[in-house]
Amino acid sequence: MNSVTDSPEMNAEDLIEWYYAQGYSDGLPLVPPTPAKIDAMVKALGGDPSFKECRVPPRWGSLTREALAINMVMAGCLPEYAAIVRAAMLALCDPAFNLNGVQATTHMASPLLIVNGPARIAAGMNAGMNAFGSGNRANATIGRAIRLILLNVGGGWPGELDKSTLGSPAKYTYCIAENEEVSPFVPYHVEHGYKAEDSTVFVLAAEPPHSVTNHVANDPQGILDSICSAMSTICSNNAVMGGHCAVVIGPEHARTIAKHGWKRHDIRYYLWKNSGNLWKDLYFNDRYGKIYNRSFPAWYKREPEAITPIVPSPDNIHVFVAGGEAGRFSAFIPGWGKVSSPVLRAIDPGAEPAGGPVCLDGTCQL
């Protein structure tokens, strides 16, 4: 991948079309990666353009700092975003995430990135109104840079190594920040042992958000029952494959829940206990024979009237607060199933979660 074309007759008007012709694009126009822009990005990454950060499946291409810089420039990123994108790629290439499977699956799963800590502010990320939507350069281009790397370095091209039957708009960009400033709860990364001043990335192989509307309830149970309803379908991968999922609670819903003294762990336990499906519904009353998923935990009851949890544990439900302060909406985000685990990673390599009990909103639990 070259920073500019080798053709002497190439002019500025042709560059975008030339990069289309080379097959480098996600379908949208690319920013021409000039040497000056690449150099600035490599410098933000720590220099040494040949340094290999990781290898990206399924093609297992080497993500050097130069390749990382080029894809970030083409996506429209600023150097201020470099550390976030690098941390996200290192998290995605953690074996636990199974990026090889995510890239090649027929499912519509795409890597969701959620950023916590001061890095959100420094990059100018949107955690408020329209957080999952358009209009913010950092959210859009950080997520897009990840997709370009998955295409250009990882080889996850649709119809070739990417076999997704339908795909989704999340395969362009899927990146937000937690709205820590308006959240009544401790930030997600603090719940998991990091300091508030640390910055982290969280990645989950996920479907697009499923809207949850509740303009009536004035108590936690009413709001969370609506989320449980969204979670309790027989058509998501979580229903038939377990794994992990995310819940993004809008600030209005979060304030109502917190006003009654509920903490993050209360939310997770309530959602886990009150969502799920009847075993007979998951398997259509054995209409097609006994095709039960043998990968479910042994303690699940394989009985017609037994409730099958959406995920095996409350800890498999990852709760965030994001969105605008007006509007009683939240979202359920199904995961890909047990074949991929989310990864939480510090942006600063020196930051590590504290040992011992994790403090949840001031309540320490062993």
Tokens of 97: 């995430």
Per-residue pLDDT tens over the stretch 169-192: 999 999 999 999 999 999 999 999
So what's the pLDDT on residue 366? 29
- Segment (H or E) for 245: strand 245-249
Nearest-angstrom CA–CA distance, 217 and 328: 10
Count helices and strands in the chain by DSSP H and E runs: 13, 14
Residue 7 has phi, psi (to 5 degrees) of -80, 120
Compute the chain's Rg from CA coordinates. 21
Neighbours of 156 (CB within 10 A): 25
- Segment (H or E) for 254: helix 251-259
| Cβ atoms 147, 1 nearer than 8 A | no
Nearest CA to 232 among 276, 196, 175? 276
Burial 62-76 (b: 16+ CB within 10 A, else e): ebbbbbbbbbbbbbb
Nearest-angstrom CA–CA distance, 93 and 77: 21
So what's the pLDDT on residue 206? 98
Residue with tokens 């607060």: 321
What is the DSSP pairing of strand 329-333 with strand 210-213? Answer: antiparallel
| Cβ atoms 305, 279 nearer than 8 A | yes
Is the C-alpha dihedral spanning 318, 312, 270, 234 positive or negative?
A: positive
CB under 8 Å to 128, separation ≥6 — which residues?
Answer: 179, 182, 322, 323, 324, 325
Tokens of 52: 């290999």
So what's the pLDDT on residue 190? 97
| Cβ atoms 345, 94 nearer than 8 A | yes
So what's the pLDDT on residue 364? 41
The structural domains of the chain, with segments of one domain joined by +, span: 7-207+340-351, 210-335
Residue with tokens 């950092």: 138
Low-confidence ranges of the chain (pLDDT < 70): 1-13, 354-366
pTM: 0.94
Please spell the DSSP secondary structure of 108-161, one letter per residue. Answer: --EEEEEEESHHHHHHT---STTTTSSS-HHHHHHHHHHHHHHHHTT---BTTT
> Side-chain half-sphere of 232: how many Cα atoms within 13 Å?
19
